[in-house]
Amino acid sequence: MPDPSLPGGLLRGRRILVVGAGTRPSAEPDAPVGNGRAIAITAAREGARVACADVDGHSAGRTAAMIAAEGGDACVAVADVGDPGSCDRVVSQAAERLGGLDGVVFNAGIGIGYGLAGTAPADWDRVLQVNLRAPFLVGKAAMPALDDGAAMVFIGSLAGTKPGSRSPSYDASKAGLAGLVRHIAAEGAPRGVRANVVAPGLIDTVMGRDAAAGNRSRDRVAGLIPMRRQGTAWEVADVAVFLLSERASYVTGQVVHVDGGLSTLR
């Protein structure tokens, strides 16, 4: 087994699928990287071969190109996780192209509706399809495809622990994700297959900037955080990659918050 203490060796030789590996387009010249892209790139920097999957093939291809530009190994898959068949296919395609799977990251997610009155039943159903049914289907397809000792990481949200998004469908889906992942972890434990949730708080991404609607609003948001700043997707990626690695070999069924203390210190 590769020595994870060596530089760039935390995921050396591992084959990782990242679902939601693109970044939402933005007109901002300094637009930040998204969580999925940061995770895919960080995994590659740590020695993994990465399958970059996204509903936007161009965005996934851009992530793969960034990995290749640094000397990494990446392939692209297009997956609409709202389609159950696509959830199965993306796992089988990644396993075929990479020659097996040692890890899966599920990063796809949407939010629709504002408040109970502003959330239509169709909005609720769509969010639950993408945010909760899809990780169930990807996890179900991945479990038999993963080698013993593999790991799955699901990107949740602080909204799964505390109210704040003002979207009942989003909050409920992220709360449900924790229960789903505990079950996946329990089924995988006899083979040493681990599953955990990374729950970001207020992270500076394109989606986060759209919600904040301007620098002044972002500054006010940062003032709510005990560490007095928003996090970055790279900080989320570091935690996700750690959980994919052998260094987290005794960590499973957990929700790890990456939120500057917002979930516990306020």
The CA distance from 105 to 15, in Å, is 11
Q: In the sheet where 15-19 sits, what is the strand order?
A: 73-78, 49-54, 15-19, 101-106, 146-155, 194-200, 255-258
The CA distance from 242 to 133, in Å, is 26
Residue of 106, 154, 170, 242 marked catalytic: 170
The CA distance from 90 to 140, in Å, is 12
CB atoms within 10 A of CB 29: 5
Cβ–Cβ under 8 Å, residues 244 and 16: yes
The CA distance from 162 to 168, in Å, is 12
Asked if 250 is an active-site residue, the reply is no
Residue 152: DSSP 8-state:
E
Cβ–Cβ under 8 Å, residues 162 and 180: no
Return the ∠ at Cα 17 (arms to 13 and 20), rounded to 5°.
Answer: 145
> Which of the residues are catalytic?
170
